[in-house]
Structure 1
Amino acid sequence: MFITQISVYLENCKGTLRTLTKTLAEAGIDMLALSIADTTNFGIVRIVVREADIDKAIVALRENGFIAKTNHVVCAAVPNKPAGLDGLLSIIEAANISIEYMYSLYYSMDNKALMVLRLSAEDMEKEQIAALLAKESVDLISQADINKL
């Protein structure tokens, strides 16, 4: 079970993030999550939106000169209490799965924090990783769930 994430490459220049958010605002896109990772020459902004807005967001971004693409990531609901996240990370570590990156949504669901994770394992496809997490009773969130936020 996966959700769709939009990744946008930004030049490390003053005002580029504002241009991105203005572009999405003018297109009527509600961002449910945003994460920024920085490198020497550029940044990567990762965004989660409702399914109905994905294509509209990609078109608006590209029309305004941004390089944008989509990919699928895991979204897990984590108990909003001490050690809630640690429980999820313990399952991931025990399965020998690597976390490439992780960030949270602006929203919660049933008093659980919503964490977006890009996971990888040498000998597993992403579908196998998701199945393993579900088998371990990790509360995976679907794109349909995201659409209800």
Structure 2
Amino acid sequence: MSRHLLVPVDGSPLSRQALEFALEEYDNASIVAFHVLDPTDPGYSSATEIDVRNEPRHGSDEWYERANEEEKRIFEDARELAADSDADLETERAVGDPAREIVDYAEDHEIDQIVMGSHGRSGATRLLLGSVAELVVRRSPVPVTVVRDETER
């Protein structure tokens, strides 16, 4: 049975691992690599090292141009990963709060499962930083597989 998976991608090693996991574990799956541009995040909603002191003013046209270029790079990487598999990969994007956009997309597009990365933070760090993965797990209408980086526990 072909599954329809949603894999949020942000260019981080963990989102890449989540996509690799989905490609390896679900033969012939239809996978949506989903990137959310968070306009409240000056780092472009990406794991790429960005020195915000040298970047265009947050929310400016130049900022969005850089964010869109970064998104293109993220999607190119996802397509390269999927090229050697039997999976059908499509890319989709949204602008907004990442957890909310991921859950909304799953609700609106007949997604069977979400596969996503999480840094596995715990305790005070998680409370201070929040966790997109935790919010998605709590709110998702479908099962969520979380790929964690055990070295950050």
Interval containing the TM-score (normalised by the shorter chain): under 0.3
Bigger Cα Rg: 1
- Higher strand content, 1 or 2: 1
